[in-house]
Structure 1
Amino acid sequence: MNEQAAYPIGIQGKPWGAPERAEWLSRQVQHRRYAEDVLPRIAALQERFEVQQYGELHYPPDRYSLMLVKSRGWDAQRPSVLVTGGVHGYETSGVMGALMFLEQAAERYLGRVNLMVLPCISPWAYERIHRWNADAVDPNRSFREHSEAEESAAVWRLIAPLRDQFLLHIDLHETTDTDGSEFRPALAARDGKMLEPEGIPDGFYVVGDTANPQPEFQQAVIAAVAKVTHIAPADENGEIIGSPVVAPGVINYPFKELGLCAGLTDAPFTTTTEVYPDSDRATPEQCNAAQVAAVCAAIDHALGNSEAP
């Protein structure tokens, strides 16, 4: 029996309808609290940064305030930087790394850039340690105008008037063992497709934009993170998660075509980080620190290689 046939919801080869989605939703369990883990740390930043609510999610009976943190005194003459985390709620270091960057490293860039950080884009999924939202939709394939994912739609509305103002956008993610054991099988079952297994890379890697790969920028991020945790090697096919490795620890995806968060802006420098938290060679603290190192290296490279004032 293959992994897809063993998935407990739906009929192999048949896309889910409303009953299957309802069954899937009924199985989701709240494991942690956004209001306890994330919101107090954001609120504690108000003395140093501007904190704003940019939207609200309503998945009855739950409501979630969507929060951003940005530098005070936004100045159109400065380059602007966007940092996003928690697009996939189960990718813990995306959220914790964004918060850690704000708490420990962001102040060094104040006065040099306009900084906007969205630490937890998908709080419902954060609480349930899941990739999808409550409608069984992947927010990170949904960053388009009129998106069906409310998480993505809220960010789209926020960023739309600023899209051409950003120098850099870095989106913080993880690749976990549950990608292979749960989320890819669930995706195949939901869409009525055959499961095509892919190996889980052991280590950190980044995803550049096929349309604007910026190889030196991606390598600067890899070099910084290599001081914190190990970099994922290519597999026997010279690939990471089915995509050709174009440089150590670097693959490319078409950001805008796929509706990825990293394609939200028209920034010349964009990347998606991928930490591997299930490695025997990495701790949660290292994963969070790797995200911070990636953000700092990305900003440093962008500032040093742009014509922005």
Structure 2
Amino acid sequence: MMSQSYPIGTPGKPWGEAEKAAWVAAQVVQRSYFDEVVCQLEELKDYFDIVQYGLLQYQSDYPLYLLKSQNWQNDKPVALITGGVHGYETSGVQGALRFARDKAAQYTSDWNLLIAPCISPWGYETINRWNPFAIDPNRSFVPNSPAPESAAIMLYLQELGANVLLHVDLHETTDSDNSEFRPALAARDGTEHTNWNFPDGFYLVGDSHKPEAAMQRAVLDAVEKITHIAEADENNQLIGSPVVQPGVVNYDTKALGLCAGMTGAPYVTTTEVYPDSPKSSAEQCALAQVAAVTGALDFVHSQAGR
């Protein structure tokens, strides 16, 4: 069993403002959102409209950008691709950008595309799951959201009035979940964390109210050409949830405030890759994210054509 110790707070006592302030003071910038994300967006300006949909005013200002199809037509279905809801999950960010650069042109005749590659840029720079308020954006896609990152993209979509048909939310799990983020969560909430397992490989989280099992299978079929699919544990679970088909678990995304539940899209999936696996690489993980997006787009388009 792993240790529950964490350098901030008192075991069993939830954090107050002093502990949260101590936590944010300990965070340091480790990479550049502008160099690694925004510069890539600039390279795509001939193919997409670059939309600034918000501004985070933290220690530094972080403009929030998404890519929108230039040939937007109201009679086309809308596909939303999101990455970097958890800023530290690198392949989600880079996978969304890679899809925009390498594959999106194949889909713009049939789809209106919205690609928000880095919803949490402060988290990207500090390699963090939370924002500076020690809030998890991916539990905050709720009315009157306490997370500005989540609130900004929800407001933009509401004002756009887009009827989203497909939403693919790109995530990953890293060894730092056990070394940092799970202990921090237990410390923040004054609880004890007991599940230290995570799957070795790629898996999907569907929505328990609209599981769309055939779409999830199509996504996995595309991804397994790139990297391995996670196997269930001895309890037929992945990350503590029952496996509903190989490589898939379902969550109540809206009730949990997850990004995948924010639009009401009938087709939704959340990806999870494991870049620390000895059987995969950062490049494979980014390409797996691209394959997940294209697999979902291809499947939903095929269904619409029937």
Task: For residue 73 of structure 1, report the CA deviation from its aligned partner.
Answer: 2.6
TM-score of the superposed pair, with normalisation by structure 1: 0.97
Equivalent pair of 1:163/1:265 in contact (CA under 8 Å):
no
Which residue type is aligned with residue 96 of structure 1? Q
Q: Following the alignment from structure 1 to structure 2, what is the Cα–Cα distance between the partners of residues 108 and 154?
A: 29
1:73 pairs with 2:71: yes
1:210 matched to which residue of 2? 208
Q: Deviations over 1:205-227 (max 9, x none)?
A: 00000111010000110111000
1:292 matched to which residue of 2? 290
2:236 matched to which residue of 1? 238
Q: Deviations over 1:225-257 (max 9, x none)?
A: 000000000011110000001111000000000
Q: Following the alignment from structure 2 to structure 1, what is the Cα–Cα distance between the partners of residues 159 and 36?
A: 30
2:48 matched to which residue of 1? 49
Where do residues 1-309 of structure 1 align in structure 2 (5 Å cutoff)? 3-4=3-4, 6-60=5-59, 62-162=60-160, 165-306=163-304
Task: For residue 161 of structure 1, report the CA deviation from its aligned partner.
Answer: 4.0
Q: Deviations over 1:139-162 (max 9, x none)?
A: 000001210000000011011245
TM-score of the superposed pair, with normalisation by structure 2: 0.98
Q: Deviations over 1:161-213 (max 9, x none)?
A: 45661110000000111112211111111001111223121000000001110
Q: Following the alignment from structure 1 to structure 2, what is the Cα–Cα distance between the partners of residues 205 and 163?
A: 31
**Percentage identity across aligned positions?**
55
Equivalent pair of 1:164/1:265 in contact (CA under 8 Å):
no
> Which residues of structure 1 form unaligned runs of 5+?
none
Q: Following the alignment from structure 1 to structure 2, what is the Cα–Cα distance between the partners of residues 137 and 270?
A: 24
Q: Following the alignment from structure 1 to structure 2, what is the Cα–Cα distance between the partners of residues 197 and 214?
A: 28
Q: Deviations over 1:28-49 (max 9, x none)?
A: 0110000111101001100111
| Distance verdict in 2 for CA 1:214–1:34, change over 3 Å | same
> Which residues of structure 2 form unaligned runs of 5+?
none
Q: Following the alignment from structure 1 to structure 2, what is the Cα–Cα distance between the partners of residues 21 and 92?
A: 24
RMSD: 1.3
Q: Following the alignment from structure 2 to structure 1, what is the Cα–Cα distance between the partners of residues 149 and 49?
A: 21
Q: Following the alignment from structure 1 to structure 2, what is the Cα–Cα distance between the partners of residues 161 and 89?
A: 25
Equivalent pair of 1:210/1:253 in contact (CA under 8 Å):
yes
Q: Deviations over 1:53-110 (max 9, x none)?
A: 00000112x0001000011131111111000000000000000000000000000001
Equivalent pair of 1:255/1:261 in contact (CA under 8 Å):
yes
Which residue type is aligned with residue 291 of structure 2? A
Higher helix share: 1
Q: Following the alignment from structure 2 to structure 1, what is the Cα–Cα distance between the partners of residues 161 and 214?
A: 23
Task: For residue 2 of structure 1, report the CA deviation from its aligned partner.
Answer: 5.8
Q: Secondary structure at the match of 2:193?
A: coil
Q: Secondary structure at the match of 1:38?
A: helix
Q: Secondary structure at the match of 1:305?
A: helix
Q: Following the alignment from structure 1 to structure 2, what is the Cα–Cα distance between the partners of residues 216 and 271?
A: 12
Q: Secondary structure at the match of 1:46?
A: coil
Equivalent pair of 2:84/2:93 in contact (CA under 8 Å):
yes
Larger displacement relative to structure 2 (215-224 or 162-171): 162-171
Q: Following the alignment from structure 1 to structure 2, what is the Cα–Cα distance between the partners of residues 39 and 211?
A: 35
Which residue type is aligned with residue 143 of structure 1? F
Q: Secondary structure at the match of 2:146?
A: coil
